[in-house]
Structure 1
Amino acid sequence: MVLSCRGLRRDFGGFTAVNDVDLDVRHGEVHALIGPNGAGKTTVFNLLTKFLQPTSGRIELLGQDITRTEPAKVARMGLVRSFQISATFPHLTVLENVRVALQRPGGLAVQFWKPVSSLDRLNERAMELLETVGLEGARDRLAADLSYGRKRVLELATTLALEPKVLLLDEPMAGMGGEDIGTVAAIIRRAAERHAVLMVEHNLKVVADLCERVTVLQRGEILAAGDYATVSADPRVRTAYMGTDHG
């Protein structure tokens, strides 16, 4: 198991946002975390990435207990997260955005005294990543000039540049049109060949087509878990999230 948690709980004063959550994320799989608004999905992400500390429970990454580990160390261990809001450098080019992300794995993150030309050795890998996500033709465009969907694709490229062991994707399809959704789904499918992927996603067609496993949250607790066919057939899930008329 690449990433797992047992008995995960988070209290905010007298309110329990996440209660007794067990989760297993496997290498080579896309695992979806779904549920209605307020179900606790983002809180689970914040707990797994250590932006929040759990009230109780245990989290393991690559067999190591990271329950009390600092977020920066967890990220260096290979747990990398994207956010709902696109996070690119608007006034850098597409290629420069990816080169920035490559500086840490390339050993250049803190070598401020070196000339900008020292980053040129990252160009080959940056172009490989841009080709992976279909942005090689936009390498010299400013990130600010990209469409919303292309910015999200660029963010995926920068996330992959960090050489993650586990990708946590927070609503990667949010706000996208059909063409961009297909592009991003294909990128995630390819990424899952080399990484474990956990994603929060509201687009159920994407979840059905892309995800091997689905965990459904309601009011901070697991309502159902299994493959999409199993959870979508559960009457509790249909009532709580998908709607009773969902086929």
Structure 2
Amino acid sequence: MTVAITAGTANAKASPGSDDEGARVVLSARGLRKDFGGFNAVNNVDLDVHHAKVHALIGPNGAGKTTVFNLLTKFLQPTSGTITLLGENITRMPPAKVARMGLVRSFQISAIFPHLTVLENVRVALQRPNGLAVQFWRPMSALDELNERAMQFLEQVGLNDARHALAADLSYGRKRVLEIATTLALDPKVLLLDEPMAGMGQEDVGNVARLISKVAQDRAVLMVEHNLRVVADICDHVTVLQRGEILAAGDYRTVSQDERVRIAYMGTEHE
């Protein structure tokens, strides 16, 4: 975890009372609970993610953030509660169908094809939305029709200069950028990013943070992130988890001033 919680971050998105005004809710959870045997990992979580906003899910290690992500994307089924995507109840829906509806997720470990070029990685992602994913009898040259669209995504994320490079040869930060490009190629309505800044140098962190702000202009972004400076700079709303429950919620300045949040992150003088 980086950067202590402070209320005075210069670029923090803090406009009390106006965070979500005028923005529609595209992903919602109510009373979300997940039990593993006798262990309660997530308890009574309510969450609203708005179109064209960046929403951060933060908390100390073991707070339940990844479990919430797995519930929202249907990798796990909730013990109780409801999840709504674009107005439709997806609580018991399989993950593949949820993904086709526009809920797309990245993972902490980069999920790219290292021995394909940067351009080829994006072309692979474009196959399903362009109806080519199951047409295995077509020659590889058939994918050339996707080149122009793939290049548009690479230009959007700043990788057009590396289009012919092997993905394995990219720096770690640029691999994460490529992963974002492949998720954008799936045309997400809601993009879930699991620790997108993990393991990055400061320069890469800044580049990816700017990219996330850019892609959030026309879609919702929900991200788990430990870098609190990034959260302060680009997130419109923050939900803080502790022991599977919501500890605080609001804009960054509001939650950073909450004494319970300070204790959860930094402990007390007696610890």
Q: TM-score range by the shorter chain?
A: over 0.9
Alignment of 1:122-141 (within 5 A): 122-141=146-165
Amino acid across the alignment from 1:92: L
- The aligned residue for residue 53 of structure 1 is 77
1:216 aligns with 2:234: no
Residue equivalent to 1:98: 122
| Match of residue 85, structure 1, among 109, 113, 132 | 109
Q: Which runs of 5+ in 1 are unaligned?
A: none
SS at 2:188's partner residue?
coil
Matches within 5 A, 1:154-233: 154-233=178-257
Query: How many corresponding residue pairs?
Result: 245
Q: Runs ≥4 in structure 1, deviation > 6 angstroms?
A: none
Q: Distance in 2 between matches of 1:178 and 1:136?
A: 22
Residue 234 (1) aligns with residue 230 (2) = no
Q: SS of the residue aligned with 1:11?
A: strand
Which residue type is aligned with residue 251 of structure 2? D
Q: TM-score, normalised by structure 2?
A: 0.89
Counterpart mapping for 1:23-62 below 5 A: 23-62=47-86
Distance 1:50 1:175, change over 3 A: same
Match of residue 40, structure 2, among 8, 16, 26: 16
| Separation (CA, whole Å) in 1 of partners of 2:257 and 2:52 | 25
Distance in 1 separating the partners of 2:153 and 2:213? 15
* Partner-residue secondary structure (3-state), 1:36: coil
| Counterpart AA for 2:71 | L
Q: Aligned-pair distance for 1:242?
A: 5.0
TM-score (norm: length of structure 1): 0.98
In structure 2, C-alpha distance between the alignment counterparts of 1:242 and 1:177, rounded to whole Å: 23
Report deviation, 1:75: 0.3
User: Which whole-Å CA distance do the structure 1 matches of 2:73 and 2:265 have between them?
Assistant: 25
Question: Matched residues in 2 for 1:16 and 1:53: separation?
Answer: 14
- How far apart, in 1, do the equivalents of 2:234 and 2:55 lie? 9
Amino acid of the residue matched to residue 55 of structure 1? T
Between the aligned partners of 2:171 and 2:214, the Cα distance in structure 1 is: 22
Identical columns (%)? 80
Q: Which has the higher contact order (CA 8 A, sep 6+)?
A: 2
